[in-house]
Amino acid sequence: MLRIVAIALAAGTMASTGVLAQDVKVGVVLPLTGGLAPVGKQVQAGIKLYMDKNGATVAGKKIDLIIKDDAGVPDNSKRLAQELIVNDKVAIIGSGITPSAMAIGPLSTQGKTANVVTVSGTSGVINPNNPYMVRTSFTLGQQSGIIAEWAAKNGSKKVAIVQSDWAPGAEATAVFTDAFTKAGGQIVETIKVPLANPDFAPFLQRARDANPDTLFVFVPAGQAGTFAKQFAERGLDKAGIKLIGPGDIVDDNDLPGMGDAMLGVVTAGIYSVLHNSPTNKEYVAAFKKANGYRPNFISLGGYDGMHLIYEALKKTQGKTDGESLINAMKGMKWESPRGPISIDPDTRDIVQSIYIGKVEKVDGELYDVEFATFEAVKDPLKKK
Ligand code: PHB
């Protein structure tokens, strides 16, 4: 008799919420179609790999993953996140690129829902007004100041900047310009290229006409291949202009098809598939086996985002309110395939190593070969 009552109660719980009480729903909004689809696909692959490796049960609860495609359009991101929070009652939301993360931020704040930002590289996305947000990706500032100082020390005097025209590009330019001019260099031209369907050729011509010794370029993941092709077609590699940037221009997903014009390109980035650690070797092998292509720096926001969620759930013993989860995430440290990373307990932003690397041919394929490391780099736009 007692048992029957217990079953009836459990069934009642199921009927009212539509899910088993033990499930933890994680809803992730990514661009899986549209111009930035390569970004969403890398994050999705990173998330799936983590779950395949670690199983779908954590702290006695089953993780129920729901991925939605916003096509990179922030109005879609907002609507989908609203549905995930209100209808699906997700315990945790994952957001992607900057405009999407900005659209979802206020919803996760209102709903007191933990929000793991897996792609955005814009500093202000993680801010005091949205206390349930945490970042597992990177910021453009983390990389751009370091490459500016490296360039100034290594003979660059006159730089032209080519920047994808949206928030992360503006930050790459601002941080680079500040550090490079402080180091005694000059910016001869700053050129903004539209984010959607970019044709780089006319902008590269303008950059060349400014007669720089070095080109600093930010394009988002997935556009490096097109950029490299047009860079070579315009003969900029032969004109003796050095190419530098944050890690996005040596996107590992695109590198194998980029051509020898990219040999010698130096970047400051968060990741190379050749990163020399047992953790990374295992990651790259498993990722390639599952997907048939290389993981890039973007994939890690998804992989490490899931790690952060799993470890936080272990710490809270399965409690999923935003406050408990975010408190558990603050200060968390672990070894990612990219190297050691942590969540700054004060800002909820990611702290990680930045690697200076150079494009070389290894076993007949192009790779970013890391040659210098800056440890525990914070987002410079948040440093007091
Ligand atoms: C971003 O959404 O801020 C973003 C996306 C792709 C990148 C860099 C930044 O490669």
- Whether ligand 1 lies within 6 angstroms of the CB of 221 is answered as yes
pLDDT at 3: 44
Encoded tokens for 366: 């192009």
pLDDT at 91: 97
C-alpha distances (whole Å) from 181 to each of 175, 185, 269, 309 are 10, 5, 21, 40
> Scanning the structure block, which residue is given the tokens 């050691």?
340
pLDDT at 10: 44
- Kindly state the average pLDDT of the residues 43-71: 97
Residues present in the chain in total = 384
Res 16 pLDDT > 50? no
Ligand 1 atom closest to the Cα of residue 101 is: 2
Assign a CATH topology to domain 141-269+354-382: Rossmann fold (3.40.50)
Q: What is the DSSP letter of 336?
A: E
Encoded tokens for 143: 């990389």
pLDDT at 197: 87
* Residue of 218 and 3 predicted with greater confidence: 218
Torsion of CA 367, 368, 369, 375, to 10 degrees: -150
> Scanning the structure block, which residue is given the tokens 């609507």?
79
Res 124 pLDDT > 80? yes
CATH code for the structural domain at 2-138+277-348: 3.40.50.2300
SS3 label, residue 300: helix
Query: Measured in angstroms, how far is the CA atom of residue 19 from the centroid of ligand 1?
Result: 34
Query: Measured in angstroms, how far is the CA atom of residue 9 from the centroid of ligand 1?
Result: 47
Tell me, rounded to whole angstroms, the distance of Cα 329 from its chain centroid. 18
CA pair distance 118, 319, nearest whole angstrom:
22
- Whether ligand 1 lies within 6 angstroms of the CB of 306 is answered as no
pLDDT-based confidence at residue 25 (cuts at 50, 70, 90): very high
pLDDT at 324: 98
Q: Of all protein residues, whose CA lies closest to atom 8 belonging to ligand 1?
A: 220
Q: What is the pLDDT of residues 145-197, one digit of tens each?
A: 999 999 999 999 999 999 999 999 999 999 999 999 999 999 999 999 999 98
Encoded tokens for 275: 């990163």
> Scanning the structure block, which residue is given the tokens 């990374």?
280
CA pair distance 384, 382, nearest whole angstrom:
6
pLDDT at 322: 97
Q: What is the pLDDT of residues 65-114, one digit of tens each?
A: 999 999 999 999 999 999 999 999 999 999 999 999 999 999 999 999 99
Q: What is the pLDDT of residues 263-303, one digit of tens each?
A: 999 999 999 999 999 999 999 999 999 999 999 999 999 99
Give residue 311's identity as a one-letter amino acid code. E
Res 15 pLDDT > 80? no
Give residue 334's identity as a one-letter amino acid code. W
pLDDT-based confidence at residue 20 (cuts at 50, 70, 90): low
Q: Are 116 and 93 in contact (CB under 8 A)?
A: yes
pLDDT-based confidence at residue 316 (cuts at 50, 70, 90): very high
pLDDT at 192: 98
Beta bridge partners of 269: 355
pLDDT-based confidence at residue 22 (cuts at 50, 70, 90): confident
CA pair distance 228, 283, nearest whole angstrom:
27
Q: Of all protein residues, whose CA lies closest to atom 6 belonging to ligand 1?
A: 220
Q: Is it true that 2-138+277-348 and 141-269+354-382 share their CATH fold?
A: yes
pLDDT-based confidence at residue 4 (cuts at 50, 70, 90): very low
- Kindly state the average pLDDT of the residues 310-318: 97
Per DSSP, helices labelled H in 316-381 are 322-329
Tell me, rounded to whole angstroms, the distance of Cα 225 from its chain centroid. 18
CA pair distance 32, 298, nearest whole angstrom:
13
Query: Measured in angstroms, how far is the CA atom of residue 137 from the centroid of ligand 1?
Result: 9
- Kindly state the average pLDDT of the residues 127-146: 98
DSSP states of 52-93: HHH-SEETTEEEEEEEEE-TT-HHHHHHHHHHHHHTS--SEE
pLDDT at 103: 98
DSSP E strand stretches across the chain: 24-30, 57-58, 61-69, 92-95, 114-117, 133-135, 158-164, 186-193, 214-218, 242-246, 266-269, 333-336, 339-343, 350-362, 365-377
CA pair distance 120, 96, nearest whole angstrom:
6
- Whether ligand 1 lies within 6 angstroms of the CB of 99 is answered as no
Q: pLDDT exceeding 70 applies to what percent of the chain? A: 94
Q: pLDDT exceeding 90 applies to what percent of the chain? A: 93
Q: Are 94 and 116 in contact (CB under 8 A)?
A: yes
Question: So where are the chain's domains?
Answer: 2-138+277-348, 141-269+354-382
Q: Using alpha carbons only, what angle is made at residue 47 by residues 46 and 49, rounded to the nearest 5 degrees?
A: 65
Res 366 pLDDT > 90? yes
CA pair distance 62, 29, nearest whole angstrom:
20
